[in-house]
Every structure is written in C-alpha cells, then in structure tokens.
Amino acid sequence: MAVFGAVISYAAVQFAFIKLRLSRPDLERPYRSPFGIPGAFIGGVLAVLSLTATLAVEDYRPGVYGVAIFIIVAVLYFALYSRKRLVADSPEEHAALTKEQHVAYDMDAD
C-alpha cells in the first residue's frame, strides 16, 4: 500500500516536471536533469506500469483500493476547499497571496 502511494507520487513528479519544463522553459533552475523530458517521460511510464502491477496480486487489491480512495478524497479536499485557503502561517504564503491580490487588483484597474 505504501508502494502504491509512492508510485503515484513519483508519476506525478515526473509528469509535473514535463509540464513545467514545457510551460516555463525560461524559469531558472538550480539543477538540470541529465535526461530531460525524455527521461521524465520514461520514468513516468515506468511508474504507471508499476502502479498497474500493484493490482496484479489479488490479495493486495483491497489495500490498493483503500489507498486509492483515500488519495482521491484528499485530492478532492485540496481542490475544492484547501487550495484557496492559507494553510500555514509562512512568509512565503503571505507573499504569494499578496502578489496574487495585487495582480488581480491591477488587472481590475485596467
């Protein structure tokens, strides 16, 4: 069950890497992947294959389904409720919220 959650996270990281590399190619990065997008794509495909392999053992399926339901509920909670609320009281989150509010205000003023 832990492997199922870890493989989902790994696949998400790989595909997020590809999306970010395509949508923000000019973004400064402190580290560059030696294999780039092709390596991330292969890693993502392998993660998805590993994810399907977790369903191969029938005795593991109830646990895998339970973890899948938990992850779906957590993602829905984040998407529908938590995404728009300040979760931690960190300076980075305050700065990000302030910047978003200023950008929205500037767009309304035009």
Instruction: Locate 20 and state its tokens.
Output: 């970010």
Q: Do 65 and 51 form a contact (C-beta atoms < 8 A)?
A: no
Number of domains in the chain: 1
pLDDT at 87: 61
Tell me the whole-structure pTM to 2 decimals. Answer: 0.62
Dump pLDDT digits (tens) for 36-56: 999 999 999 999 998 888 888
Judge whether 65 lies within some domain.
yes
Given a cut of 90, is residue 92 above it in pLDDT? no
Q: Do 5 and 54 form a contact (C-beta atoms < 8 A)?
A: no
Given a cut of 60, is residue 104 above it in pLDDT? no
Judge whether 51 lies within some domain.
yes
Domain range holding 66?
A: 2-84
